[in-house]
Structure 1
């Protein structure tokens, strides 16, 4: 699989998804954007959340709803055709190699790394900041899968140079307590 081409497709889809979300929901105070996949490496999807949504959340659950993309208001919304095309490419590639566990482990790791690289590139270009005028929270996550705590910490540090980074890392310290 040509991961460089896939990376360009994911970047283009992510840009389009965020622009669509901003156009439709910018007045709601978008503060976050995520790319996420699944443990089977069959999908890449966007997710966004807003300050408006957080007003509806019980105070005890605020951090979870603020930082967990699966709970965000606009999960799997934006650039629908582009992300569907990416998912089709991924599933086709997986079907061709379904018997090879070592290949799958490399494929999964490369897909996850590619998504993180896309988010990092967009952050470094100030893509999000240039649209909404401030930094937002960025994350890559995988549904029904938990990264090792140190790996998740590294993702947060890599993708966030803002107040969200320290708040998320502080929140991480409360996990399991």
Structure 2
């Protein structure tokens, strides 16, 4: 698989998804955007959330709902056709290597790294800030999969140069306590 081409497709889809979300929900104060995949590396999907949505959340669970893309209101919304094409392409590639565990491990790692690199590129180009006028929280995550704590910390630091980074890292310190 040509991961440079895939990264370009993911970048274009991510931009399109975010712009669609801003057009539909900009008045609700979008504060976050995520790309996520699954443990089998068959999908790449966008997710975003708004400050307006957080007002409806119980304060005790607020940080979790603020930072967990699976709980965000606009999960799997935006650039639907683009992301569906990416997912179809991933599944075809996976089907060709169905029983090759070593190949899969490399494929999965390259896919996850590609998604993180796309988000980092968009952050460094100020795509989100130029679109809505402020920094937002960015994350890459994987459903039904847990990153090592240090790996997740590295992702948060890499993708966020804002107040969200500090709050997320402080929240991480409470895990397991």
TM-score normalised by the shorter chain: which range applies? over 0.9
**1:104 maps to which residue?**
104
The normalised TM-score by structure 2 is: 1.00
Could you tell me how far 1:36 is from its partner in structure 2?
Answer: 0.0
Deviation, structure 1 residue 48: 0.2
Query: Cα distance, 1:119 vs. partner?
Result: 0.0
Q: Are 2:31 and 1:31 equivalent residues in the alignment?
A: yes
In the TM superposition, residue 95 of structure 1 has moved relative to its aligned partner by 0.1
The structural deviation recorded for 1:55 is 0.2
Q: CA deviation at 1:156?
A: 0.0
1:126-165 → structure 2 map (5 Å cutoff):
126-165=126-165
Deviation at 1:114, TM superposition (A): 0.0
How many residues are matched? 177
Q: Which runs of 5+ in 2 are unaligned?
A: none
Give the corresponding residue for 1:71.
Answer: 71
CA–CA separation in structure 2 for the residues paired with 1:131 and 1:113: 24
- Mapped to 2, the partners of 1:91 and 1:73 lie a distance apart of 26
Structure 1: segments with no counterpart, 5+ residues: none
Moved over 2 A (4+): none
**CA-based RMSD:** 0.2
**Is 2:124 aligned against 1:124?**
yes
